[in-house]
Structure formats: structure tokens, C-alpha cells
Amino acid sequence: MSRLVIVSNRVADLRASTQTGGLAVALADALRERGGVWFGWNGEKEGETGGDPTVETIGKVKRVAAPLSPQDVADYYFGYANSVLWPLFHYRLDLVDYRPAFFAGYSRVNETFARQLVPFLKPDDLVWSHDYHLILLAGHLRRLGCRQRMGFFLHIPFPPPDLLHASPNHAELVDALLDYDVIGFQTHTDAGNFKLYLAEHTPAVEVGKNRFRVGERTVLIDRFPIGIDAAGFAALAEDADEEVKIDLMRRQVLGRRQIIGVDRLDYSKGLPERMKAFGRLLERHPELEKTVTFLQIAPPTREEVDAYGDIRMELEALAGSINGRFSDFNWTPVRYIHRPVSRGKLAPLFRGSQVGLVTPLRDGMNLVAKEYVAAQDPDNPGVLVLSKFAGAAEEMRQALIVNPYDIDGMARQLHRALTMPLKERQRRHAALLDHVTRQNASAWLAAFLAALKPPAGQGEARGAASKAGHEAA
């Protein structure tokens, strides 16, 4: 079995437990089984040109992490990745801050990562890069002579060709993606958008199901919907600590139900729209007074990017105005927490909430939707209200699907969720749970690795011909 080399912007803690999240754990498990390397940025700023990676060896796995220079962090991470690609790929052209220095920095860091990674590669390795930070990596590795099989998985959406065209670098980005052997997306829509771009703007031809001929090579383009460790998360949900138990008991005594939202504080997550929908619900249904609360947990991220400060202020103002309008001395309708909460707490909080409100304006998949379902008590489950623009909506059809731009529509579905009969809740939840359990993190990983392994008969030869790729460390 070939070794696995994972490259991602940040490197996960390989000694992680379920506390870290199903995805990192699933990837770490695969590394432990096959042996290999996890390479990425260590999150530190250092020197004028970055610095050498440090290596930590844990069994058959090497964790290799390098610092970046302050300029690289500004241009590559906050710049091109999070001020250009993130808004562009989430269909937010209005928020794109394009500057030539950003793309130069992005390319520079992808090249540096490639150079730093080469000494750790063996000829037969499978290289798997993750996400929008690393689109150019395969191209740089190829130019350094690497011939290994290389795959790329995009965790976020891929926009339609017309939107992508708004980026001055669209052709470079797509050409660079085609240096990979496998390009994985979350949904049919994302893979479809990419294929549409290929058809409209490149000479690539489809030569078989999801297979495209690009010059002399064949590239596989498919969707690999990501999943969670559903069983692990369900176990966490049943194990509430004292604080969460007391909070739940208080609500039970008071006959109060809870709507929960959990997201990074990001403009793609539709947080103001969601807050407005809750306000509209209270306005339309005065009988709900003191019977329902909305808990929104939204820890800060990427605060150095202006658009993130704006969303924070907007959300705080909205929460304040709803509370100002509806609160009573013994009822605060909105509880807004702007801090991270451990998974050990989140899971039982999901279980103790009668509605999971997941309403991004655009999202690659959205794991919170899956975690909410996994955390429920199957005998008395809550209801998932899910945006049709989350990748998860492509499969989780038994959720109450909403349009996050339609505030009235969301308020109506919230009311429907709060009044849904037990039998219907159970029926919807059983179907969703079945899906989340089958399409879990391990299934996603297995599907991607099956696509990435060399086609029959091509095994060792390709790697052996490699100019680079000999382990030095």
C-alpha cells in the first residue's frame, strides 16, 4: 500500500482525539495505517523569508510544519486565499480585494511549500492537497520533477464560470488544478461548475465518466461529499458535563425550547439573515414569548480581514436590537456567544436543542448540519433547518430546506420545526441519520483514496521514473 502525503494550510495535531473533529481524526488514522507525512504551515510568523520546517515523527508518520514570513502571511493567507479566493468561491464578488501582490505571494508560498516537501517524498507516495490555499502546489511539484500521483480536494464551493472569470487569474488557477490527477469537489454543483469551465474555456475533452484528457494526461474530476465521524459525535453528545446538564434542566423546568446555530463568524454563513428570521418569528408569533430561545455560537476567525469585522458589528447590533425589543426580566430571547466552545460541550448542546439552524448563503458542505443530526436522541429528535445553498442540502433532503435570503420563509420553517409532530420528526431524523452514518468521514476518505490510487498497470513505474522524490529526512 502506498504511503500517503497530506498537504494542508495548517497541520493537525496527530495525537488528536475526537475533540479535534472527525475529519482531522479520519485523516490522521489513514496516515497511521499507511505511514506517510502531513505537511503544512505551523501557524507561526518568522524571519524575512520564513524558515525551515520542523519534523516530528510519530510512529510511521512525520508531521512536518514550517513557519511563514509576515509578508507571506499577509499576501498568501490573509491576501489571496482569504480576501480573493474565499469570497470569489463563495459567490461574493463584492468582497473580493484583488491585488497583484496577493497572487504573487500565493504563488511564492505554494512554491516554497513544494520545495520544502520534495525531500520528504518517496517515488510511490500518493500526495493529497487540501483546499483553496494550495491550488498551485501540484504545478510547482511537477516543475521540480515530481511524478507521484497527486490529488486535490476543494472543501469550499467552486463558482460558475462567469464568476470565476471575474478573477484576473482564472486561467492560471484552472490550469494549475489540471496538474493534479484527481480533482475532488463536495457536490454535483461544484464539479459541474468546474466541468462547465473546462468545456467553455479549455481544450480538455471528456473521454469517459468524469475523466478528462488534458494533453497527454487523464484527469479524474468527481464529487466526494465529506462526512463526519457520526458514531463518535453521537457518543460525545450523550456525555454532557454538569454545566450543560443544568442548563438543559433549567430549560425543561421552564418549558423552553432552544434553537441552536454554531458557525465560525464568517459572512458566508448567513448569520444576520438567520438572526432576522428569529426576530420575524417572534414578531409573527407572540405566543412563543418566553417559550423559545436562540443560542448562536460564533467564534471569531480571520479578524485581520475587514469584511469579518463588519459582520461582527452587524450581528452584535442585530442580537442587541432583538433582545431590546422582546426581552423580559426573566427571558432573553437571543444568547450570542462570540467564543469557541469545545466539541465536548457542543455535542450535548446540539442534543439539547429542538432546532438546528444552519443557513449559510453558500457553503462547501457544512459539517454542523451533519453533527446536529448525529447528536440527536432518535426517540425524540430535533429538526434541522438547512439552507439550500449548503452543499449538505444536495443530500439531506429530509431537513426543512430554506432559502436564507427569504427571511419570512425562514421564519415560517422555524415555526414549522418548533411545532412538528413527534412522528414526523422521527421519520425525517431516521432518514438523515442513516445518510450521515453511511456517508461518514471514513467513507469519504476511502472514496478519495480509491480514486487517487494509480490506475491498474501504472503502479510503481510512474514513481520510479521520477526525477525528484527521494526521502532525505
Choosing from 260, 271, 346, 384, the residue that interacts with ligand ADQ (CB under 6 A) is 346
For ligand ADQ, the closer CB: 212 or 372? 372
Hey, which residues between 71 and 130 contact ligand ADQ (CB under 6 A)? none
Mark whether 285 is an active-site residue.
no
- The reply on whether position 263 binds ligand ADQ by CB under 6 A is yes
Q: Considering the complex, what minimum distance in angstroms separates the CB of residue 419 from ligand ADQ?
A: 27
C-alpha triplet 165, 169, 172: angle, nearest 5°: 110
For ligand ADQ, the closer CB: 25 or 407? 25
- The reply on whether position 265 binds ligand ADQ by CB under 6 A is no
Q: Which of 90, 133, 140, 155 is catalytic?
A: 155
Choosing from 262, 393, 410, 432, the residue that interacts with ligand ADQ (CB under 6 A) is 262
- The reply on whether position 145 binds ligand ADQ by CB under 6 A is no
- The reply on whether position 341 binds ligand ADQ by CB under 6 A is yes
Contact (Cβ atoms closer than 8 angstroms) between residue 179 and residue 139? yes
For ligand ADQ, the closer CB: 86 or 326? 86
Burial degree of 442 (CB within 10 A; 0-12, 13-18, 19+)? middle
Order of strands, edge to edge, in the sheet holding 257-262? 334-337, 292-297, 257-262, 355-358, 383-387, 400-402
Mark whether 155 is an active-site residue.
yes
Which residues have C-beta within 8 Å of that of residue 217, sequence separation ≥ 6?
A: 181
Strand bridging mode 211-214 / 205-208? antiparallel
Hey, which residues between 152 and 191 contact ligand ADQ (CB under 6 A)? 155-156
- Spell out the SS3 assignment of 284-353: HCHHHCCCEEEEEECCCCCCCCHHHHHHHHHHHHHHHHHHHHHCECCECCEEEECCCCCHHHHHHHHHCC
For ligand ADQ, the closer CB: 24 or 178? 24
- The reply on whether position 364 binds ligand ADQ by CB under 6 A is yes
Q: Considering the complex, what minimum distance in angstroms separates the CB of residue 25 from ligand ADQ?
A: 11
Strand bridging mode 36-45 / 383-387? unpaired
> What whole-number distance in Å separates Cα of residue 117 and Cα of residue 308?
32
Q: Considering the complex, what minimum distance in angstroms separates the CB of residue 413 from ligand ADQ?
A: 20
> What whole-number distance in Å separates Cα of residue 125 and Cα of residue 61?
13
Catalytic residues: 155, 363
For ligand ADQ, the binding residues (CB under 6 A) are: 21, 155-156, 226, 262-264, 297, 299, 340-341, 346, 363-368, 371
